[in-house]
Chains A and B, each alone.
Chain A
Amino acid sequence: GALVYQYPRRTICKSGTSMRMECQAVGFQATSVAWYRQSPQKTFELIALSTVNSAIKYEQNFTQEKFPISHPNLSFSSMTVLNAYLEDRGLYLCGARLGGYEQYFGPGTRLTVL
């Protein structure tokens, strides 16, 4: 079946420092990969989206300078949160899309900023 792994599952960093998280789709060829942040209020914010046919596109309020993403292919993606502050806290989710519609999420990386 389709599986999406994320690493680490949780991380704690000091305010102003940076941390990197990884996402890997296993068992299927992803057609798109999206990074979301789920806030303590449980809402989903789309950070950026990569598809087979396009480069990484960042949503409003999220920038490459703050959340640089790299992926050699759509089955593996990494994102860094640079200069993390309290407002960056949350559960960072990676969603890999299979074919035209179905999107599978990983377990997320929970970021705590002290």
Chain B
Amino acid sequence: QQQVRQSPQSLTVWEGETAILNCSYENSAFDYFPWYQQFPGEGPALLIAIRSVSDKKEDGRFTIFFNKREKKLSLHITDSQPGDSATYFCAASAAGNYKYVFGAGTRLKVIA
């Protein structure tokens, strides 16, 4: 059972465009949703995260939009740069539960 789903599997955008990465989940108990950025050969780096009490979280060019009712969230990367080319993972955890559930990732390629 895949509790966290990501789409698309891969995404290519031009430099300067907005990349939109989607994530959905099944467990209503999930209340914390981090996004990780991973470059080849490296470990995943915490990029931005949101809690279910919020519907939006912004950090520079990265914004999470969260829809609790539909159990969906999305990561928007505005003014995409070639250096943003990486795999992005959506994860989820529930209050009081130390486990994270990860999606399968979206591979983003930004073309100059």
Contact = CB atoms under 8 A, between A and B. Distances in A.
Given A42-B105, A102-B34, A34 B98 contact: yes
A93 B99 contact: no
Contact of B34 (A42, A43, A103, A110): A103
Contacts, number: 48
A68 interface: no
A46 B102 CA distance: 10
B42 interface: yes
Interface string A71-104: 0000000000000000000010101010001111
A6 B41 CA distance: 13
A24 interface: no
Secondary structure of the A side of the interface?
A: strand
B42 A107 contact: yes
A44 interface: yes
Nearest to B105: A42
A25 to B, nearest CB: 13
Interface of A: 4, 6, 31-32, 34, 42-44, 46, 49, 51, 91, 93, 95, 97, 101-108, 110
